[in-house]
């Protein structure tokens, strides 16, 4: 049975993590370990492959990065939990739709632990509140890429962040899409690491992966990879 190593990357700029997970996907082989990366990004808008310029309303001083995931534009920033499943889908016996469903199911299960009712929508990937005055507001966004049978990119869940940048775009390509975060629904703001731990356990269950201990990130490996990518791009 496959075991996915879980890593806490802390807070990092988006592009370095994107290039790292793409490189990992492109260079892995049949024996490479599946990994789940949890990270918090510096402020950035990311525009997916199908992205249209009309959905960028007033990005201002926040950078826009064109990326190779599916979907339209979204925002990442401090106070958001971003989870990247780097999985060999064939080895895990998981299809792309199964992975999307697992990411959504794990979000719903995690939110339920905090007494927040939410569910996915059949017409748009992600997770949305289902009760109270914020019903219909979006709390988690999904964008994936599969290459060589392996997944990267993932899901972003709003915990305790500045939601104002979402007003500068049409989130996920939907004009007027209302975003919400866990902190607005709880008496005390959620802590990033406990939420991440609950979420990852739920994701492992949804994917029928055994629980595994969190492993530290090899900073030297990450630095060497960043230098290699910079050299190849130069």
Is 84 exposed, middle or buried (CB count within 10 Å of its CB: 0-12, 13-18, 19+)? buried
Question: Does residue 115 sit within a domain?
Answer: no
Between the alpha carbon of residue 187 and those of residues 115, 176, 184, 222, the distances in Å are: 11, 27, 8, 37
Question: Does residue 8 sit within a domain?
Answer: yes
Question: Does residue 201 sit within a domain?
Answer: yes
Tokens of 126: 């992600």
Question: Does residue 218 sit within a domain?
Answer: yes
Q: Which residue is it, tokens 């609950």?
A: 198
Helical H runs in the chain?
A: 14-27, 89-92, 96-113, 192-206, 219-233
Question: Does residue 130 sit within a domain?
Answer: no
Q: How far apart are the first and last CA of the chain?
A: 41
So what's the pLDDT on residue 188? 96
**The CATH number of the domain where 200 resides is what?**
3.30.930.10
Intervals of the chain under pLDDT 70: 1, 221-222, 224-234
Question: Does residue 117 sit within a domain?
Answer: no
Domain of residue 170 covers 4-95+143-175+189-233
Is 1 exposed, middle or buried (CB count within 10 Å of its CB: 0-12, 13-18, 19+)? exposed
So what's the pLDDT on residue 172? 77
Rounded to two decimals, what is the model's pTM? 0.93
Q: Give catalytic status of residue 38 as yes or no.
A: no
Question: Does residue 61 sit within a domain?
Answer: yes
Digit-coded pLDDT (tens) for 97-132: 999 999 999 999 999 999 999 999 988 889 999 988
So what's the pLDDT on residue 233? 57
Q: Which of 38, 92, 150, 172 is catalytic?
A: 172
Torsions phi, psi of 130, nearest 5? -120, -5
Q: Pairing mode, if any, of strands 44-47 and 64-66?
A: parallel
In total, how many domains does the chain have?
1
């Amino acid at each position: 049975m496959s075991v996915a190593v879980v890593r806490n990357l802390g807070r990092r700029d988006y592009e370095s993590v994107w290039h790292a997970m793409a490189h990992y996907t492109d260079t892995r082989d049949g024996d490479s370990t599946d990994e789940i990366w949890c990270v918090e990004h510096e402020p950035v808008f990311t525009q997916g492959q199908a992205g249209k310029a009309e959905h960028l309303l007033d990005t201002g001083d926040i950078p826009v990065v064109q990326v190779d995931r599916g979907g339209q534009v979204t925002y990442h920033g401090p106070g958001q939990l971003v989870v990247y499943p780097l999985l060999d889908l064939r080895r895990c016996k998981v299809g792309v739709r199964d992975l999307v469903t697992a990411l959504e199911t794990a979000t719903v299960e995690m939110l339920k632990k905090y007494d927040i009712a939410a569910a996915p929508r059949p017409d748009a990937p992600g997770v949305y509140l289902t009760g109270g005055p914020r019903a219909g507001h979006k709390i988690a966004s999904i964008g994936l890429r599969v290459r060589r049978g392996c997944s990267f990119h993932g899901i972003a869940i709003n915990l305790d962040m500045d939601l104002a940048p979402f007003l500068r775009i049409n989130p996920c390509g939907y004009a007027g899409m209302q975003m919400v975060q866990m902190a607005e629904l709880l008496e005390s703001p959620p802590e990033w690491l406990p939420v991440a731990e609950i979420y990852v356990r739920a994701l492992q269950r949804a994917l029928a992966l055994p629980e595994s201990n969190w492993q530290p990130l090899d900073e030297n490996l990450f630095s060497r990879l960043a230098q290699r990518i910079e050299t190849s791009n130069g």
